[in-house]
Copies of this chain bind each other. A is one copy, B any other.
Amino acid sequence: MANTPQPGTRERIVRAASLLMQRQGYEGTGIKQVAQEARATLGSVYHFFPGGKQAVGVAAVRHADHEFAELLSASLSEEADPAKAVAVCARTLAHHLRDSGWVDGCPISATALETTGRVPAIEHAVAQAFQHWRDLVADRLREAGFPEGDADDLATTVISTLEGAELTAQVLKSETPLTVAGEHLARLIDSYKR
């Protein structure tokens, strides 16, 4: 959506890094592999990212943050009922995951787990993404009339559960964990209504 027809070199590097890190994690992705996949040279990578691999990693995480935020916002605004919207979102994730051959799960969780407590810059970008997504859900719930406390707690669990269900679905190569998680989340949200 709204992609520049010919993304510049910097943009190609970030996208390639984001995709590779989604599938192989941060440690499993090499700078040279990123350059090759982005059809850029090593010189270009270090030109745009003097901070080296860590800087590329941070940019890739931020890119993934924005991408998933768009998908989330779209899902949340499609349905009038936020409970239904969450279920729809879970199904959408399940289809994307299946269509990719079970390789495209959450774009940052692999990176998150590998770098937590060891690479502060990436750790921080990951935390920002999680909070960002959480806030999107919380805002939608407040907007639908849920009290502040309930909305915050529910939003936290929605993100956690979607995250975990995507991991489980990927590992088991099955859409079921995501679809049932979506329905359970809808049921949970409904139980807070009124």
Binding site for B on A (CB under 8 A): 23-28, 101-103, 105, 109-110, 112-114, 116-118, 123, 126-127, 130-131, 153-154, 156-157, 159-165, 167-168, 170-173, 176-177, 180-181, 184, 187-188, 191
Docked CA distance A123–B101 (Å): 14
Cross-interface CB contact of A117 among B23, B154, B157, cutoff 8 Å: B23
B130 touches A171 (CB 8 A): yes
A116 cross-chain contacts in B, Cβ below 8 A: 102-103, 105, 170-171
A154 cross-chain contacts in B, Cβ below 8 A: 184
The binding surface of chain A is classed by DSSP as helix
A117 cross-chain contacts in B, Cβ below 8 A: 23, 101-103
Which residue of the partner chain B has the closest CB to A163? B164
Docked CA distance A154–B168 (Å): 14
A157 touches B161 (CB 8 A): yes
A26 cross-chain contacts in B, Cβ below 8 A: 28
Count copies of this chain in the complex.
Answer: 2
CB distance from A14 to the nearest CB of B (A): 20
B157 touches A181 (CB 8 A): yes
A131 cross-chain contacts in B, Cβ below 8 A: 172
Docked CA distance A113–B131 (Å): 21
B25 touches A25 (CB 8 A): yes
Docked CA distance A165–B134 (Å): 12
A126 cross-chain contacts in B, Cβ below 8 A: 171
6 closest cross-chain pairs (CB), A and B: A164-B164, A110-B113, A163-B164, A27-B27, A27-B28, A160-B164
Cross-interface CB contact of A114 among B114, B173, B177, cutoff 8 Å: B114
Docked CA distance A123–B171 (Å): 7
